[in-house]
Amino acid sequence: MATSRDLNNTLEQVLNSGASAEVIGHLLRTARERLRMEVGFVSEFIDGMRVFRFVDSAPGVNLIAPGGADFLAQSYCQRIVDERAPQLISDARTCSAVVDLKATQLLPVGAHISVPITLSDGHVFGTFCLFSRYAVPGLNHRSLALVRAFAEMVALLLEERRVAGAEHEQNNTAIHHVSTFFTEHRVSFSPSSIVDLNTKEEIGTELVPAISQPSPLFSNPFLLLREADRLGLSQLSGVAMMESSLAALTHLSADQFVSMNVTPQLIMQFDFNQWLRSDCSRLVLGLSEHDIVDDYTSLKARLYRLKESGVRIAVVHAGAGFASMRHILQLQPEFVKLDADLTCGIYKDKGQQAMLEALMRFCRSQGSILMAEGICSDEDEAYLRTAGVGFAQFDSAS
């Protein structure tokens, strides 16, 4: 377990590290602006005091400053850590759990969201907190999920500082570099229609990642997302994906779905359930055959929770990855998507046709629906439709 000296040294390192401090500042500003709050801060609990370590405020708002402190016992943060008050409060003046606190009346506090920053050993470092002097009625479970994700990111940065040496410096630089793509909104997701080959009607859309302002290290969005997983930044990529998918759903009819390709690491690290309510059955998460799964038991347990909520699963790049039929057998997906390399030119390639026939038989035996992606000619479309493939995506260049 971390000692007070360990934590003080860790915090000093973070404060002296421009990269880590900048990331935390970006997280606070991003959360504050998205949720329309006046103040965001990261606090540390020390000897019965709450110390404001990082602060981000709206222009003209000067309610607290870095280095300021007050008594923890009389704070919202303590009641939330003790579970005596909810983490999300739209209007504190109507919340019986905090209405007696001085800050509620004197500041006053209106909207308030606070999430404990919990380290891997269970120690509560402090809180990631946002508040305003006015009520914000539109706050909901997705608002809280965003703050929880960012609190986990701060915990990760604090833990990272405990690792000494060159490896730490490289990791810290990489974390800063990758996180800025998300905090500066340089990762976006473009819709790619999924259609019924028989009716030509759109049944759903896949959100395909793209990077604006690429760097010398990252111009491929798929590489960036996998690097985010490797660095433990799945909270940031997960937030970006969920915000994009929920926005896309508002532009689709009630019988259409949104599909996103995710990694096993993202499934294990990011809590999709926090973001979902009535839209669950309209979300499809795709796992690639290229992705190695070391522990199917743990992954299936996570997917089971998602499926219980109505989320549907797809195995994508079927026929092209190392996993062959194993993902389909283990994960029992609702959809299987034939890889584009096996789709393009299929009308004239006997080998591709044989693979399609085998996959179709296998999918039928498993209760999965086979889809095709990357159709690049009218001839391919006609062949797939005649073969019995009902749903597909077309090559954007065709």
For 194, the domain range is: 185-394
- Non-local (6+) Cβ contacts of 99 within 8 A are 92, 93
Give the DSSP letter string of 244-262.
Answer: HHHHHHTTS-TT-EEEEEE
**Model pLDDT for residues 80-132, shown as the tens digit of each residue:** 999 999 999 999 999 999 998 888 888 899 999 999 999 888 889 999 999 99
CA 247, 248, 251, 255 torsion-angle sign:
negative
**In terms of domains, do 24 and 115 share one?**
yes
Residue 54 lies in a domain: yes
- Non-local (6+) Cβ contacts of 161 within 8 A are 10, 13, 14, 17, 20, 168, 172
**In terms of domains, do 292 and 250 share one?**
yes
**In terms of domains, do 267 and 332 share one?**
yes
Strands 283-288 and 257-262: parallel
Residue 126 lies in a domain: yes
Question: What global pTM score does this model have?
Answer: 0.75
List the CATH number of the domain containing 222. 3.20.20.450
Residue 171 lies in a domain: no
**In terms of domains, do 155 and 198 share one?**
no
Which region, left, alpha or beta, applies to residue 388 given φ > 0 means left and ψ of -120 to 50 means alpha? Answer: left
**In terms of domains, do 208 and 148 share one?**
no
Give the DSSP letter string of 60-78.
Answer: T--S--TT-EEEGGGSHHH
- Non-local (6+) Cβ contacts of 154 within 8 A are 24, 27, 42, 117, 128
Strands 369-375 and 335-338: parallel
Strands 112-118 and 124-131: antiparallel
Tell me the average pLDDT of the chain. Answer: 86
Residue 60 lies in a domain: yes
**Model pLDDT for residues 6-57, shown as the tens digit of each residue:** 444 545 555 555 567 888 899 999 999 999 999 999 999 988 888 899 999 9
pLDDT of residue 22: 83
Number of structural domains (the chain) is 2
**In terms of domains, do 250 and 323 share one?**
yes
**In terms of domains, do 28 and 156 share one?**
yes
**In terms of domains, do 135 and 194 share one?**
no
Q: Minimal CA–CA distance to 29: which of 5, 56, 51, 2?
A: 56
Which region, left, alpha or beta, applies to residue 256 given φ > 0 means left and ψ of -120 to 50 means alpha? Answer: beta
Give the DSSP letter string of 283-328.
Answer: EEEEEETTS--S-HHHHHHHHHHHHHTT-EEEEEEETTSTTTTHHH
Strands in 112-118's sheet, in edge-to-edge order, are 69-71, 49-57, 39-46, 124-131, 112-118, 88-89
DSSP label of 353 = H
pLDDT of residue 213: 87
Token pair of 380 as six digits: 């391919």
Name the residue with tokens 């994508």.
316
Residue 266 lies in a domain: yes
List the CATH number of the domain containing 49. 3.30.450.40
pLDDT of residue 397: 52
- Range list of H helices, the chain: 4-16, 18-34, 76-81, 102-106, 141-160, 166-183, 221-230, 234-249, 264-269, 296-308, 326-331, 340-343, 350-366, 378-387
**In terms of domains, do 382 and 282 share one?**
yes
Low-confidence stretches of the chain (pLDDT beneath 70) = 1-19, 161-171, 278-279, 321-324, 396-398
Among 162, 195, 214, identify where a domain stops.
162
Q: How far apart are CA 300 and CA 372, in angstroms?
A: 25
Cα–Cα separations (whole angstroms), residue 137 to 78, 248, 278: 24, 23, 20
pLDDT of residue 162: 57
pLDDT of residue 159: 77
Residue 176 lies in a domain: no
**In terms of domains, do 196 and 113 share one?**
no
Among 127, 162, 197, identify where a domain stops.
162
Q: Minimal CA–CA distance to 387: which of 326, 329, 331, 343?
A: 343
Residue 174 lies in a domain: no
Q: Minimal CA–CA distance to 284: which of 247, 224, 336?
A: 336
**In terms of domains, do 325 and 287 share one?**
yes
Please give the share of the chain, as a percent, with pLDDT higher than 70. 89
Residue 173 lies in a domain: no
Among 112, 131, 162, identify where a domain stops.
162
**In terms of domains, do 227 and 119 share one?**
no
Q: Is residue 139 classed exposed, middle or buried when 0-12, 13-18 and 19+ CB atoms within 10 A define those classes?
A: buried
